Structure 1
Amino acid sequence: MKTADIKGILRENTGGKSAAIVRKNDKIPAVIYGESGTQHVEVDYLPISKLIHSPDLYLININTGEKTTRVIIQDAQFHPVTDKILHVDFLEAAVGKKAVLDIPVVVTGKSIGVLNGGMLVVKMRRLKVRGIPAEMPEQIEVDISKLEIGKSIKVGDIKGFEFLDPDNAVIARVKTARTMEEIIGEVEEEVVEGEEGEEKAEGEEGAEGESSEAEASASTAAENA
């Protein structure tokens, strides 16, 4: 797994007002959760933003001057409009202790099904794994070279990890690509349905016209009587 080093500053004051001041200084308020308790820190915005938006998984060394704590990103909160990072929760990656990680999935190989005209559909881009962070890979490779049309690779097919996702969850599958005849058939059905709708509408308009004329004639006859 990749590692990154960032600087942090311990925060003595917490709360909404303090966090707002931190953000104005282009930093992010954060909390480190560990076995010995919690640490409130502030970290520079840009380095953390790059790590959060990276497709890779990182072990992060946060140096607060007093000590360096190895952590993983557990959660991040974003502004609902600007999507700017508002707060980050770090989880201490204690030596020998397991943690839950979202590890990226990388599909490798050329599927037999795709070579035969099928279409590859990747359903899961990350897998939830429980393990010791330092021993986890940067990504989980899923070989699709033997994947045929109509077949799929599920979480239970991948060995060597303690997954928290259901075994029957589909990671990737190859489906039959639509033929030109099927596409033309769908278009023709839509055209026929449209024509039937127009004919029905015209019939209803004609019936309404005849009904109106009949009502008018009846009214005139009543007046003459």
Structure 2
Amino acid sequence: MSNEFALNAEARSDLGKGASRRLRRNANLVPAVIYGGDKAPQSISLLAKDLAKLLENEAAFSHVLSLNVAGANETVLIKALQRHPAKGYVLHADFQRVVAGQKLQAHVPLHFMNQETAAGVKTGGGEISHTLSEVEVSCLPKDLPEFIEVDMAKVEVGQIVHLSDLKLPKGVELVALAHGSDLAVANIHMPRVQAESEDTGTAAE
């Protein structure tokens, strides 16, 4: 696995809110937990600067990571991050174990393509609005994509792109669709100022 998606961690036995505060304050460490698979949950700590550097890469949130805990490797996904409400740094992290051959669920970012040249923008004068920025997928660990593309090239003014319109990589399913929810992803609409101007003109006539 690339070092880009690997972290060193230490096992910790000093638990509780007070212990977590001491870790963050005195050692610049982030408390975390690993759970799932056929093992018991394990409490760990990570260097805050190493975790912050990893999270600068968007792909880290949808990539299988390698955690080296006291010489033993754990293959995991980031499942939850608790951040400081004002300063934004990570206070606590949850990692879920990944088991080869077993499907996992993860949130994957959406990358919107051809927005400036979209039909509804280039010829229709419309604006694009994003309803979703990520989607939850279900797949085997080997099939987990770093992102899913949303091609806006042929979308006209007034059209909505739904989950069912997305082209998914092989072996990847959308959790919402599996539950019967075909959510809107993006749409192209007329600029609000222009629309209000047209409405005012119609009313005046």
Which region of structure 1 is more displaced relative to structure 2, 108-117 or 76-85? 76-85
Distance of aligned partners of 1:121 and 1:44 in 2 relative to their CA distance in 1, 3 Å threshold? same
Partner of residue 63, structure 1: 68
**Is 1:99 matched up with 2:104?**
yes
Distance of aligned partners of 1:39 and 1:80 in 2 relative to their CA distance in 1, 3 Å threshold? same
CA drift of 1:108 comes to 1.2
> CA–CA distance in 1 between the matches of 2:132 and 2:113?
14
One-letter identity of the residue aligned with 1:89: D
Distance of aligned partners of 1:184 and 1:15 in 2 relative to their CA distance in 1, 3 Å threshold? same
Partner of residue 5, structure 1: 6
One-letter identity of the residue aligned with 1:100: Q
Distance of aligned partners of 1:185 and 1:72 in 2 relative to their CA distance in 1, 3 Å threshold? same
Kindly provide the CA deviation profile for residues 151-195 of structure 1, in whole angstroms up to 9, marking residues without a partner as x.
1110012244321235431111111235758438659x9xxxxxx
Kindly provide the CA deviation profile for residues 42-101 of structure 1, in whole angstroms up to 9, marking residues without a partner as x.
011122123335422332111113311111100011223333311100001111122211
Partner of residue 91, structure 2: 86
Percent identical among aligned pairs is 25
Do the aligned partners of 2:107 and 2:136 also contact (CA within 8 Å) in 1? yes
- Return the match for 1:112 from 109, 114, 119: 119
- SS at structure 2 position matched to 1:49: helix
- SS at structure 2 position matched to 1:37: coil
Partner of residue 206, structure 1: none
> CA–CA distance in 1 between the matches of 2:194 and 2:163?
33
- SS at structure 1 position matched to 2:149: strand
> CA–CA distance in 2 between the matches of 1:52 and 1:89?
14
> CA–CA distance in 1 between the matches of 2:105 and 2:135?
10
> CA–CA distance in 2 between the matches of 1:181 and 1:130?
40
> CA–CA distance in 1 between the matches of 2:194 and 2:174?
40
> CA–CA distance in 1 between the matches of 2:195 and 2:11?
66
One-letter identity of the residue aligned with 1:164: V
Q: Would you identify which runs of 4 or more consecutive aligned residues in structure 1 move more than 6 Å?
A: none
**Is 1:48 matched up with 2:51?**
yes
TM-score, with structure 1 as normaliser:
0.75
Count of aligned pairs? 190
Do the aligned partners of 1:51 and 1:58 also contact (CA within 8 Å) in 2? no
Do the aligned partners of 2:149 and 2:167 also contact (CA within 8 Å) in 1? no
> CA–CA distance in 2 between the matches of 1:101 and 1:75?
11
> CA–CA distance in 1 between the matches of 2:186 and 2:195?
26
Q: What is the RMSD of the two structures over their aligned residues, measured on CA atoms?
A: 2.7
Higher helix share: 1
- SS at structure 1 position matched to 2:24: helix
> CA–CA distance in 1 between the matches of 2:119 and 2:107?
29
One-letter identity of the residue aligned with 1:140: I
TM-score, with structure 2 as normaliser:
0.81
- SS at structure 1 position matched to 2:20: helix
CA drift of 1:106 comes to 0.6
- Larger-Rg structure: 1
Taking the TM superposition and a 5 Å limit, the aligned residue runs for 1:9-48 are 9-24=10-25, 25-35=27-37, 36-48=39-51
Do the aligned partners of 2:35 and 2:41 also contact (CA within 8 Å) in 1? yes
Partner of residue 127, structure 1: 135
Do the aligned partners of 2:63 and 2:144 also contact (CA within 8 Å) in 1? no
Kindly provide the CA deviation profile for residues 97-140 of structure 1, in whole angstroms up to 9, marking residues without a partner as x.
22211101011123111111111112111011112233111110
One-letter identity of the residue aligned with 1:46: K
One-letter identity of the residue aligned with 2:151: D
One-letter identity of the residue aligned with 2:188: V
